[in-house]
Amino acid sequence: MVSGSERKGAISIEHVRRVFDGENGNPVVALQDFSLNVEPGAFVSLVGPSGCGKSTLLRMIAGLDDPTAGVIRLDGKKVTDPDPERGLVFQQPTLFPWLNVHDNVAAGLVARKVYKERKSDVDAFIRLVGLSGFERSYPHHLSGGMAQRVSLARVLVNHPKVLLLDEPLGALDAFTRMQMQDEILRIWKEEKITVILVTHDVDEAVYMSDTIVILSPRPGRIQEIIQVPQKHPRARNDEDFLHLRTRILESLHFAKAPEPLEYYI
């Protein structure tokens, strides 16, 4: 395993704007004048209403999409194309169904023609995500949580500086989701990489992140940046945890007093 202490992973997002072509040729502004600096090794969550540009921003950091204006840099270098140093994990595992766990994890190394010299990394990262013994299993034999672990290992085997997570736990049941949150935190600490997580789950953001960025409705802008002072591991029923959760919900305008209900019999 390559030591994470030598990695960097500073992300600079400078006045980024992203405009899409909408229906009837009307432009849709997804992000407007978005600027953010992320320190190496930070764990940042992006939260906000649907359509505010969270996933769009993640895709631009990954190099899968280009800003309409502005620039994104990793360690001072402009992001222009996809690169293994920026690994993206989607909500669905998107594994190759014809490949077993080992070969799914190795697929990127094979494509880059570095598998022979990095073969030991495949087994190392399968162990890291807790799937030892399942190397020869195929995706249809795996649970949702196990398949998502394979997706993580497939990205991590490239030794990325940045791990980008686009609601990777959204399709899992509540218990598996909490287990995977702890696994991702363990990997983050061990690998010492920068993590940016897109999530609609406020509890998940508070539990995992050291910084939470709240985006406004479209066009997405930074509405508020909240630093999470609690150290890991965090208790989900802790008073400070619940206070911060309420604060974020209020910022998102979801924590409103309930409307009075009328009942008719």
79/207 same-domain check: yes
User: Residue 263: its pLDDT value, please?
Assistant: 47
Residue type, 6: E
User: Residue 2: its pLDDT value, please?
Assistant: 44
Class of residue 180 by CB neighbours under 10 A (exposed 0-12, middle 13-18, buried 19+): buried
User: Residue 6: its pLDDT value, please?
Assistant: 62
62/101 same-domain check: no
152/164 same-domain check: no
Q: What is the pLDDT of residues 35-90, one digit of tens each?
A: 999 999 999 999 999 889 999 999 999 999 999 999 999 999 999 999 999 999 99
User: Residue 253: its pLDDT value, please?
Assistant: 78
Residue 3 has pLDDT above 80, yes or no: no
174/231 same-domain check: yes
User: Residue 125: its pLDDT value, please?
Assistant: 95
Rounded to whole angstroms, the Cα distance separating 66 from 116 reads 33
Q: CA torsion sign, 133 to 135 to 139 to 140?
A: negative
Q: Which among 141, 158, 175 is the end of a domain?
A: 158
- How much of the chain exceeds pLDDT 70, in percent? 93
Q: What is the pLDDT of residues 202-214, one digit of tens each?
A: 999 999 999 999 9
| Average pLDDT score over residue span 132-139 | 97
Mapped onto helix, strand or coil, the DSSP state of residue 25 is helix
Domain that holds residue 203: 4-85+159-251
113/240 same-domain check: no
**In the chain, beta strands by DSSP E:** 11-21, 27-38, 43-47, 69-74, 77-78, 86-89, 162-166, 194-198, 211-215, 222-227
Q: What is the pLDDT of residues 204-260, one digit of tens each?
A: 999 999 999 999 999 999 999 999 999 999 999 999 999 999 999 998 876 444 555
**Is there a domain that residue 92 lies in?**
no
Rounded to whole angstroms, the Cα distance separating 69 from 248 reads 29
